[in-house]
Amino acid sequence: MTGGLIDKLLGRLIRRGRLEVTYASGRRAVYGAGGDGAPDVAVRFTDNKVPRELLMDLALGAGETYMDGRLVIERGDIMGLLSLGQLNDRWEQEGKLIAPGPVAQAAKKLVFTWRSFNKPSTARRNVAHHYDIGNDLYRLMLDETHMQYSCAYWPREGMTLDEAQEAKLAHIAAKLALEPGQRVLDIGCGWGGMAIYLARKFDVQVLGITLSEEQIALARIRAEEAGVADRVRFELVDYRQLHKQEEPFDRIVSVGMFEHVGQPQYETFFRTCANLLKVDGVMLLHTIGRMGGPSFTDAFTDKYIFPGGYIPALSETVAASEKVKLIASDVETLRLHYAKTLREWYARVMANREKIVAMYDERFFRLWTFYLAGSTAAFENGEMCNYQIQFTRDRQTLPFTRDYMTATETKLTTP
Amino acid sequence: MWLLDKFLRKAIKRGRFIVTDHDGKVYEYGPGGDEEMRIRLTHPKAAHHIASYPQVGAGEAYMWGWLEVEAPHDIRDMVLFVTKNTKRIGDASLQPKSPLKKMAQKLIAKADGINLKGKARKNAEHTYNLTRRLYELFLDEDRQYTMGYYRDTSNSLEKAQLDKKAHIAAKLNITPENGPNMRVLDIGCGWGGLALYLHRVYGCEVLGVALAPDQIQFCKERAEAEGVADKVKFALMDYRDVEGSFDRITSVGLLEHVGTPHYPQFFEHTAKLLKPDGVMFSHCCGRAGPPGFTDAWTRKYIFPGGYIPALSELITQSEKFGWQVMDVEAMRFHYSHTLEEWYNRTVMHKDEIVELYDEQFYRMWQFYLAGAEQSFRYGKMVNWQIVYVKDREAIPMTRDFMYEESERLRESEEPPVWHLAQAAE
């Protein structure tokens, strides 16, 4: 029965590209005509429970059955499969693909869980728990120069990942309007890439904080190597505890951390930031965002990638920041930049398949590639984007035009 | 006097504020210093009225001639002096504190924000059907009745308004090459300046709609005079009645009048009107803090039905209708410079304005401009410039196109000279 239902659904859904499915019974079905440049992928279900699991929750079902080797890709790869799905359910075309009717209810649910499959971000807590995921995996996947585990910035064609990550750092630094002698706080500093970059390029002192011991250890080594250890500190501390030990900062930057805060904590987050920021301070928040209204995290991501994480809508973010009088002085939505970044990471992971499987196992490799591919699809055709929000506490703080941003960025990126 | 006395004692922390009551008694406030401000209350009820109705009292007292500001200062100086002391817009320190009163005010403000089509027109007429002559007297040569973009505070109002149009045009992602194939809808077209500008720089076809008959009449005359009436059209209609499909939609200084209860309609209807790969740009006054409500003065005398939105209020609604917010620029202080110049031009034409209307109207206008200026200077008012798309691929990957185009447009044209500049000197 579920075989019949999924058959109908796929028949309706796949309008671009081509999907070939071999069911456990041996029956083969082809959805979509293909030949239009969209992915052409063939999969096989090894048992007859797979369709039901997909129908229950598409993201979780697909992720688990793929991970377990019960959904096998026979032509193409997981990137192709997930891109194909999302391409046929472009967020922009919401509500136009599914005709009303008895199947529509199930279809709506299917599409909804598909759509709400989000994002990359630190797969730290849960994955680390199960796999003892270390810095090595990230070294294989991320850019070498800055080890940035967040969206890069691609202003030109033909950039390398390393160049695009450096361009991102420059883009953010320009929005911080830094002055010599300032103290900067980096909330969620990762392996220290941002903190080190700021200290190298500007006469500032940076405190980077994270909750990961592995990150701190490597960040400290990298700061030594970069010769900025005298102006960059890294500490293992929760941002909510920081006011006990630190004076307010001139600047706060937070990249790829807000996704982990969770909606119930938004007001606490912004209140804490406002209190950690001087009255004439500037804060730059860089976070994955959802383009629609408030929603929830898909089951796969919640279970395997980031438990407790949530990708914010812009409305709920600024509704929380307004309450503590942080003024959203500038908002930029980066679209497709993350998809380009993820495709680079995916390529590096694929290129290092042997090593990663040796470090972990096949199942982990499939989990990881599923996560990267699903995230890519979400940024290309799903609901995901990336917000850069600049906040001030006083309207006088920054110049009255954006010229300073472009001027600083040009200076930083011109060799 | 005791209630006003109590308020002023608390409020005036800088400079010196001297009040001569109607009976000749003199009250002094503040620690002294460089700034000294003297006012006279000419009516026995003045002090009581100001203190009892904090939001409208001072404005009305000034309008009715119950409150006079002594030379060399004027009402603008007084408003800026008092608000600089309180450092907040009139709805905080100058507000009644009781929760009940606050709630009542909120309710009234809410009910007032409901704009049925007929009422929307009446409200627009209330503000704008003041004759075109009035606006000619205090606005710039292009009659932009919204914030100018002061890249340099020493720029003329004409330059600031031209730079504003260039800045807006640049965010629309139109080029001189694809412009002639585009249709643009300008909702709340005012005196037609933006519509004519977009056609002039891009060759696009523009439809401007507004609810003030004299504005539309004037817009049509301008299009005729410029020989572009076949490409730049204007219609007296509610945007909710506009049909068809457009490549670009602009609305500048409109959402303030739409009112929060109608944001869903606005975003729903504009989403219907815009092509899938289109761009919508909206520019409106905004409050930097959380949602609030319109002060009684503005509601009663200036913009009935108006409301200045917090960013979250706009985006909460736009998200529901599939709009993707691409870019938000909070324009700070540009409006206070603009309002200062409008005030100066108003005062320059005092005699004629009094002749057109009366002394009371002139004073109301002064108080309105001064009050608005203080809210952008010391209060929490900003302007939101928001770029929306329906498809993430509708605009380039980076903002570079905006910067480059804004600069190109700014340099491509000299600002006009205000035809009343000579006469005023």
Q: How many CB atoms lie within 10 A of CB A76?
A: 19
Confidence (pLDDT) at A131: 36
Residues A24 and A163 in one domain: no
Give the residue extent of every domain in chain B.
2-86, 117-424
Q: Which residues pair with A285 in a beta bridge?
A: A254, A389
Q: CA-nearest residue of chain A to B331?
A: A400
Of the partner residues B334, B390, B399, the one whose CB lies closest to the CB of residue A400:
B334
Q: Is B308 within 8 Å of B361 (Cβ atoms)?
A: no
- B-chain residues near A332 (CB < 8 A): 326-327, 399
Q: Where is average pLDDT lowest: A43-47, A118-122, B279-283, B398-402? A: A118-122
Residues A98 and A178 in one domain: no
Distance from CA of B137 to the nearest CA of A (A): 28
Taking any CB pair shorter than 8 Å as contact, residues of chain A touching chain B are 92, 94, 153-155, 291-293, 313-316, 318-319, 322-323, 325, 327-337, 385, 395-396, 398, 400-403, 406
What total number of domains does chain A contain?
Answer: 2
Going by the DSSP 8-state scheme, the letter that residue A232 receives in this structure is E
**What is this model's ipTM?**
0.88
Class of CATH domain B2-86: alpha beta
Angstrom distance (rounded) from CA B109 to CA B292: 10
Q: What is the mean pLDDT of residues A300-319?
A: 82
User: Is residue A317 pLDDT above 50, yes or no?
Assistant: yes
Least Cα distance to A175 among A340, A334, A332, A322 occurs for A332
Q: Does any CB of chain A come closer than 8 Å to the CB of residue B277? A: no
Confidence (pLDDT) at B380: 83
**CB-side neighbour CA atoms (13 Å) of B204:** 27
Least Cα distance to B370 among B344, B343, B396, B352 occurs for B343
Structural domain including A99 reads 2-115
Q: Is A179 within 8 Å of A250 (Cβ atoms)?
A: yes
Residues 6+ apart with CB under 8 A from B29: B8, B9, B11, B12, B16, B17, B18, B19
Of residues B303 and A274, more confidently modeled: A274
- A-chain residues near B325 (CB < 8 A): 291, 314, 331, 333
pLDDT tens by residue, B86-109: 764 333 333 444 555 555 555 555
Q: Where is average pLDDT lowest: A32-36, A130-134, A316-320? A: A130-134
Cα A108 → chain centroid: 25
Confidence (pLDDT) at A300: 75
Residues A190 and A277 in one domain: yes
Domain final residue pick, A115, A132, A162? A115
Distance from CA of B216 to the nearest CA of A (A): 32
What CA dihedral angle connects B79, B84, B87 and B89, to 10 degrees? 20
SS (H, E, C) A28-60: EEEECCCCCCCCEEEEEECCCCHHHHHHHCHHH
Confidence (pLDDT) at A121: 38
The letter for the amino acid at B412 is S
Question: Band of the pLDDT at A107, cuts 50, 70, 90?
Answer: very low
User: Which pTM was predicted?
Assistant: 0.90
User: Is residue A384 pLDDT above 80, yes or no?
Assistant: yes
User: Is residue A102 pLDDT above 70, yes or no?
Assistant: no
Angstrom distance (rounded) from CA A13 to CA A38: 14
**Which CATH number is A129's domain given?**
3.40.50.150
Question: Band of the pLDDT at A277, cuts 50, 70, 90?
Answer: very high
> Which positions of chain B have pLDDT values less than 70?
87-129, 301-305, 422-425
pLDDT tens by residue, A279-288: 999 999 999 9
Residues A228 and A315 in one domain: yes
Residues A140 and A90 in one domain: no
Phi, psi of A37 (to 5 degrees): 90, -15
Domain final residue pick, A95, A115, A135? A115
Residues A145 and A236 in one domain: yes
Domain final residue pick, A88, A115, A142? A115
Residues A174 and A225 in one domain: yes
Return mean pLDDT, chain A.
88
Residues A344 and A408 in one domain: yes
- Rounded (to 5) percent helix, strand, coil in chain A: 50, 20, 35
Angstrom distance (rounded) from CA A235 to CA A220: 9
Q: Which residues pair with A277 in a beta bridge?
A: A249
Of the partner residues A292, A335, A403, the one whose CB lies closest to the CB of residue B319:
A292
Residues 6+ apart with CB under 8 A from B268: B321
- B-chain residues near A377 (CB < 8 A): none
User: Is residue A1 pLDDT above 60, yes or no?
Assistant: no
Q: Does any CB of chain A come closer than 8 Å to the CB of residue B398? A: yes
Least Cα distance to A206 among A228, A221, A191, A222 occurs for A228
Least Cα distance to B383 among B113, B106, B109, B148 occurs for B148
Q: Could B403 and A406 be called an inter-chain contact, meaning their C-beta atoms sit closer than 8 Å?
A: yes
Residues A95 and A137 in one domain: no
User: Is residue A296 pLDDT above 90, yes or no?
Assistant: no
pLDDT tens by residue, A80-100: 999 998 888 888 875 443 333
Confidence (pLDDT) at A130: 36
Residues 6+ apart with CB under 8 A from A116: A59, A295, A296, A297, A298, A383
Angstrom distance (rounded) from CA B38 to CA B213: 42
Residues A109 and A134 in one domain: no
Distance from CA of B149 to the nearest CA of A (A): 9
Least Cα distance to A384 among A91, A153, A87 occurs for A91
Confidence (pLDDT) at B95: 40
Angstrom distance (rounded) from CA A2 to CA B152: 67
Whether residue B72 is preceded by a cis peptide bond, meaning omega within 30 degrees of 0, is yes
The top-scoring range by mean pLDDT among A163-167, A363-367, B59-63, B284-288 is A163-167
pLDDT tens by residue, A226-243: 999 999 999 999 898 898
The residue with tokens 């790869």 is A77
The residue with tokens 């377990």 is A68
Residues A103 and A154 in one domain: no
Which two structure tokens, joined as six digits, stand for A277? 């920021």
Confidence (pLDDT) at B89: 35
Least Cα distance to B12 among B34, B28, B24 occurs for B28
Return mean pLDDT, chain B.
88
Which two structure tokens, joined as six digits, stand for A331? 């908002």
Domain B117-424 in CATH 3.20.20.70? The answer is no
Confidence (pLDDT) at B375: 85
Angstrom distance (rounded) from CA B211 to CA B241: 12
At B54, is the secondary structure helix, strand, or coil? coil
Q: Which residues pair with B246 in a beta bridge?
A: B274
Residues A208 and A86 in one domain: no
